[in-house]
Structure 1
Amino acid sequence: MDRFDSSDRKPEEDTDALSSVPWARFSAWLECVCVVTFDLELGQAIELIYPHDAKLTEKEKTSICYLSFPDSFSGCLGDTQFSFRLRQSVGRVSSTWFGEKDAYNREAPLILEKEMAHFYGYVYFRQVKDVSVKRGYFQKSLVLVSRLPYVHLFRSLLHIIAPEYFEKSEPCLEAVCNEIDQWPPPVPSQTLSLPVMGVVLQVRIPSKDDKPEGSPNKQGQKEKHLSSPMVLPTIHELDLFKCFQSVLIHIQLLWELMLLGEPLVVMAPSPAVSSETVLALVSCISPLKYCCDFRPYFTIHDSEFKEYTTRTQAPPNVLLGVTNPFFIKTFQSWPHIMCLGELKMSRDLLKQVKVKKLTKLKTLDTKPGIYTAYKTFLHKDKALIKRLLKGIQRKRPSEVQSTILRRHLLELTQSFIGPLERYLASLMPLQISMTPWKTPPQIRPFSQDEFMATLDHAGPQITSMHKGDWLGLYKQFFQSPNFDGWFRAKHREMTDKVECLHLQAICDADLMSWTKDKSEVETIDLILKLREKLTRAHMHQLPVKEELLDKLENYIQSVISSLPQDLQTVLYKD
């Protein structure tokens, strides 16, 4: 698939630019679409990739094959949907296409950024009896491969196109891909209409400037009418209550394990339960980004299997969803294992799994439970648990239960991260200290001890009713990849802000007056520094107004014009 570099464009300019590049609109959403089938001689095999020139390595194709089929223990009959995430082959994509320079990633929330090193796979698997097939079953998966974590959107898309594809085969898939190639690109803060197979999906792409909320404002429409679009209330959120209903009484424990990036294996009865649970766990610390590796569905064929199951070192900071009981034996040295069985109701109340000692972990016949020796830093919120359990008894709708749960987790995360953000703000240099003639002052270094000292008067107790050892939780958090990822992103934002404030100070100054009593060498030095500032502002897409940059450009031209002609010629050549 052809690639394009959007590093020097704004999101709103993407639509026109995309139209001239083959499959560029398509690749703004999807890497490719794969059809994986079961071959009696080869096992799982890719039957079709679309577009045909999609560039997947052989290793990636093999991984997609294994991850697109439930393993033999799952026994999934009929239609089932699940997700996976796989590491891309090294060196396959130029880094200029992603990261800070990518127009989408600059405006998207951290949790919805395009993946730089991984692909997501969204799978619709069908297994039905078929006497015309030697094995006696029709087994096939339609897989959307993307860098975007839009689980709800792509699941909804598959629900529309997969049944039709299984009936009509390749021409149908080609038509769908051509329709997607006409979609506008995903631009944060925009509401888009996405037509596919006679249905118009209406979605809003979240922006990093959105205020975090406990639930979407709009409810989705299930009807599929050409006249009225199918409005999706979210592109990425899951039904948290459905995912956590058997572990509600342990939600505090799970939130802390995710916050601290602890190694955790989720043993589930099917890839659908496995992938939904892992993605729900990752999302439960939102808006904080989960910065460890996570695999919604992981198999023994995965290329990282040996890396993650070695017993010669401590388990890595990774979250794995598995379905094969063999993993219980493999992961016995891991500190946290969550076993989920089939959901069971007891007198109208969903049976809650228990926390058990790791020593009680057995192979194959392991009972549902959370096997860990971890002790939470914070106390359980008994009022929340009581409210949710009462909701089950009263048959409260799942979306309402999810809203309660999501709001609770959001408030908990914000209470935890708020003091850190307030402390970071105190490290910023004051605007009054910005002078146009000097290098901008440095951001003060982060000091854990200094931060801890602020907690007495500005700690989580200001916004949270939660009791417990907040200090101990912060100390542990500082050792986690999540803190490192959060701090790097925040420090980058702060550095950009300092740069913007300095640019403002330069533009507010009277540069022409300053140059009057300066030597030509000093004036040329100023011009070169201002040009460097301007280049950096464009390259890093700093959040400054265009008119400010235009003003700086005019300043540079005016200063150059005040110099002798020979110097002007040299500077214009540069």
Structure 2
Amino acid sequence: MSDLASCSAINETTVNDETLIEDLKISRKKWERFSNWVHCICVVTFDLELGQAIELVYPSHVKLTEQERSNICYLAFPDSNSGCMGDTQYHVRIRQNGKTTHNTQSLKEYDRKCPVFVQSDRDYYWGYVYFRQVKDKTLPRGYFQKSIVIITKLPLVNLFSEICALIAPEFFESGMSVMEAVSREIDRWPPPVPGQILHLILMNVLFQTYIPNQNYKATVPTVAALDHTTKKHSLRKIVLTSAYEGDMFRSLASVVSHVHLLWELALLGEPIVVMASSPTTCAEMVQALTATIAPLKYCADHRPYFTIHDSEFKEYTTDAPSPPAVILGVTNPFFAKTLQHWPHIIRITNGSNVENQKYRIKKSENLKVLDSKPGVYTQYKPFLQKDKAILKKLLRGIQTKRPGEVQTALLRRHLLELTESFMIPLERYIASLMPLQKNISPFKATPIPQLFNPDDFLATLSSAGPQLTTGIKGDWVGLYRRFFRSPNFSGWFHTRYTELTQKLQAIQLEALSEADLKTWVQGKQEVEVVDMILRIRQKLDKSYEDDVPISHSVQEKLNERINDIIYTLPDDLQIILSVKS
């Protein structure tokens, strides 16, 4: 029996519950390096009695809830109307509804070092799907239908799409032995470290890729293999300049003349439905829309591919006056009727190009999106004007057949600069909410940042607004006011406020580590001294729990300060308080 299946082959009649729990812990620990990259790999097949069903899960100790299994099953196959013959690839996001999966230490480090827009998401899994449907007269339905789905916490769409494209065809040909070998190889990979070239070997292929660190604008190092590595192992090489970035221009080409409007909709977390004929097109468009606002993290929900069987279907198709803040990618014509009241609809057809896509004002009555031509349907009035120079440059690039990667680089850089122009005044203002360092005392409670006041912020725009970094004109104040009501503002503010709070805690702990507590303790009551010891320990414990950025030397000095004042106390108290040291 393979290692993968060993944890499920325990003889339950002879092993008690404690042993079983311990065995599961050992199994999880054993697969920790695998868990740095992949939660599990599912094989989904079509069963005549059950419909879509999970055939296998690797490694076998991984437990998915019934709802997670159901969502994976339905998302693993394109809707029947899609008519996807042959091989189809796309990606999905699946809400995690079981116990929160605790990230490995390496994944925690990954989240600390990478930009926010490629961090893992504690509430969702990413699923990378490879679906095959081919005629097979030997099967009861006359078709072979099966999917491989890689489930992970990482939004590395480029990398995992390539990995899935390598694994799936081999599995379809050779079966279980492929999956066991793949799982063991992934379990030997180094952890995902932002800011470094990664060399990952799988099935005689060397994947070389790069995940940015927080300095996301840094020049990407040359992704090149060491010659002796490839020669020694006779490896084929796949080089991915980015582990996560898709071909943004290709995805948005059909609606590129409205990219500024789409940027505003994404920035504000507006409800958008993307209707296309294939899940691949849907997923790429949804991914591109969320990427338009980088380096800001897209904090509203988004489903690159969504079906009528999804457990959140009722939640998202309710007749409420305001649809939820989500971008849905759909192929089923049923959604054309169900979501026709949504304020923003993007309709794409195969072969759509820039010339045949027209900007249309969505009419709320008598709209038949299913019968509509490709385009953007909305009544939204943008706050900002278009940047005609970049649009002209991109359209000329189409005419002159400029390489797609150059078009994407131009578009991505423009949108990055636009988002940064929008966010710089907010970053400057939130930094001003920090108390002055001279007012931070080691002997008083840790101060907290001042509250965010929208009116105070808006008052700064006349002298320090986006006009300093961009030439785009428009109602910036109106855009900010609308942004303050969006999930993206809430997510950004929560992250930045937490960072400021932790920075204040770190500054105070550093001050406390340098404080002369031997002098402070003179003349103090025992109860005050004990209280100070307990408070320092509480702050230290909280710094570990909250990952407050303090150095090891500061931690050591704080323990020294605790010992300094413990020794001023009577022997009996010293014994009690030294137990924890």
Normalized against structure 1, the TM-score is what? 0.91
Alignment match, 2:309: 301
Give the AA of the match of 1:554: E
| Alpha-carbon offset, residue 243 of structure 1 | 0.5
Query: Of 273, 279, 289, which aligns to 1:271?
Result: 279
Q: 1:237, 1:244 → 2: CA distance?
A: 14
1:108 equivalent in alignment to 2:114: yes
Residue of structure 2 in register with 1:357 after alignment: 362
1:93 corresponds, among 87, 100, 109, to 100
Q: How does 1:88-237 map to 2 (within 5 A)?
A: 88-89=96-97, 91-93=98-100, 97=103, 102-207=108-213, 209-212=214-217, 216=220, 218=222, 226=233, 230-237=238-245
Q: Cα distance 1:459–1:220, how it changes in 2: closer, same or farther (>3 A)?
A: farther
Partner residue in 2 for 1:534: 540
Which among 424, 434, 438 is matched to residue 428 of structure 1?
Answer: 434
Shift of 1:507: 2.2
Residue 113 of structure 1: CA displacement? Answer: 2.0
| Residue equivalent to 2:466 | 460
Q: Say if 2:495 is the partner of 1:477.
A: no
SS of 2:434's equivalent in the other structure is coil
1:393 counterpart letter in structure 2: Q
Q: Residue 29 of structure 2: SS of its match in structure 1?
A: coil
The corresponding residue for 1:6 is none
Instruction: Describe the shift of the 1:97–1:196 C-alpha distance in structure 2 as closer, same or farther (beyond 3 A).
Output: closer
Is the 1:100–1:540 contact (alpha carbons within 8 Å) kept by the matching residues of 2?
Answer: no
Counterpart residue type for residue 163 of structure 2: L
Residue number among 519, 526, 550 corresponding to 2:525 in the alignment: 519
Alpha carbons 2:209, 2:223 under 8 Å: kept? no
Distance 1:101 1:211 in 2: 18
Q: Shift in Å at residue 205 of structure 1?
A: 3.3
CA distance in 2, matches of 1:193, 1:445: 45
Q: Shift of residue 514 of structure 1?
A: 1.8
Contact 2:352 2:374 in 1 (8 A): no
Pair 1:59-2:67 in alignment: yes
Answer whether contact 1:100 1:106 (CA < 8 A) is retained.
Answer: no
Mapped contact 1:336–1:372 kept (Cα < 8 A): yes
Q: Per the alignment, in what secondary structure is the counterpart of residue 465 of structure 1? A: coil
- Aligned partners of 2:81, 2:499: CA distance in 1, in Å? 47
CA shift for structure 1 position 323: 0.5
CA contact (8 A) 2:171 2:178 kept: yes
**C-alpha contact 2:107 2:192 (8 A) present in aligned 1:** no
Matched position secondary structure for 1:114 = coil
Cα deviation for residue 121 of structure 1 reads 0.9
Residue type at the aligned position of 1:68 = A
CA change 1:330–1:19 in 2 (3 A) is closer
Partner of 2:298: 290
> Hey, what's the Cα distance between the residues in 1 that align with 2:216 and 2:302?
26
Relative to structure 2, which stretch is displaced further, 533-542 or 395-404? 533-542
Report the Cα distance in structure 1 between the residues aligned to 2:286 and 2:41, rounded to whole angstroms.
Answer: 23
Instruction: List per-residue Cα deviations over 1:251-270 (Å, max 9, x = no partner).
Output: 00100000000011000110
Deviates most, 547-556 or 266-275: 547-556
User: How far off is 1:239 after superposition?
Assistant: 0.5
Q: Is the 8 A contact 1:246 1:353 kept in 2?
A: no
CA distance in 2, matches of 1:407, 1:83: 25
CA apart distance, 1:114: 1.8
Change (3 A) 1:251 1:232: same
- Aligned equivalent of 2:340: 332
CA RMSD of aligned residues (A): 2.5
CA contact (8 A) 1:38 1:44 kept: yes
Q: CA deviation at 1:542?
A: 1.3
Q: Contact 2:204–2:234 (CA<8 Å) still a contact in 1?
A: no
Distance 2:281 2:261 in 1: 20
> What is the alpha-carbon distance in structure 2 between the residues aligned to residue 71 and residue 25 of structure 1?
35
Which residue in the other structure is 2:329 paired with? Answer: 321
Report the counterpart of residue 72 of structure 1 in structure 2: 80
Pairs aligned (count): 552
Superposed, which structure 2 residues align to 1:299-448 within 5 Å? 299-344=307-352, 350-359=355-364, 361-448=367-454
- Deviations along 1:325-358, one digit per CA (max 9) or x if unpaired, are 111110111111110111245xxx6533323323
Which region of structure 1 is more displaced relative to structure 2, 52-61 or 187-196? Answer: 187-196
Name structure 2 gaps, 5 residues minimum. 8-24
Q: After superposing the two structures, state which structure 1 stretch, 77-86 or 32-41, moved more.
A: 32-41
- Given the superposition, is the C-alpha separation of residues 264 and 160 from structure 1 closer, same or farther in structure 2, using an over 3 Å criterion? same
Letter in 1 for 2:217: P
Q: Report how far residue 560 of structure 1 moved.
A: 1.3
1:343–1:351 contact (8 Å) kept in structure 2: no
Q: 1:328 to 1:255 in 2, by over 3 A?
A: same
CA distance in 1, matches of 2:53, 2:550: 50
Separation in 1, partners of 2:327, 2:222: 31
8 Å Cα contact 2:356/2:374 also seen in 1: no
- Of all paired residues, the percent bearing the same amino acid is 51
Query: In structure 2, what is the Cα distance between the partners aligned to 1:51 and 1:20?
Result: 10
Indicate conservation of the 8 Å contact 2:131/2:148, yes or no: yes
Q: In 1, distance between residues paired with 2:389 and 2:31?
A: 52
| 3-state SS in 1 of match to 2:80 | coil
Which residue is equivalent to 1:12?
none
Are residue 572 (structure 1) and residue 578 (structure 2) matched?
A: yes
CA distance in 2 between partners of 1:440 and 1:307 (Å): 42
Distance of aligned partners of 1:73 and 1:356 in 2 relative to their CA distance in 1, 3 Å threshold: farther
**What CA distance in whole angstroms lies between the structure 2 residues aligned with 1:430 and 1:502?**
12
Please report how far the alpha carbon of residue 365 of structure 1 lies from its aligned counterpart in structure 2 after TM superposition. Answer: 1.7
Corresponding residue for residue 14 of structure 1: none
**Pairwise CA distance, 1:22:** 2.2
* Cα distance in structure 1, aligned partners of 2:221 and 2:387: 26
CA distance in 2, matches of 1:219, 1:136: 45
User: Which residue is equivalent to 2:56?
Assistant: 48
Deviations 1:202-247 (A, max 9, x none): 233333x32436x8554689x9874675332111111101100101
Contact 1:18-1:24 within 8 A present in 2 as well: no
Q: Which moved more, 1:105-114 or 1:481-490?
A: 105-114
Unpaired runs of 5+ residues, structure 1, are 3-16
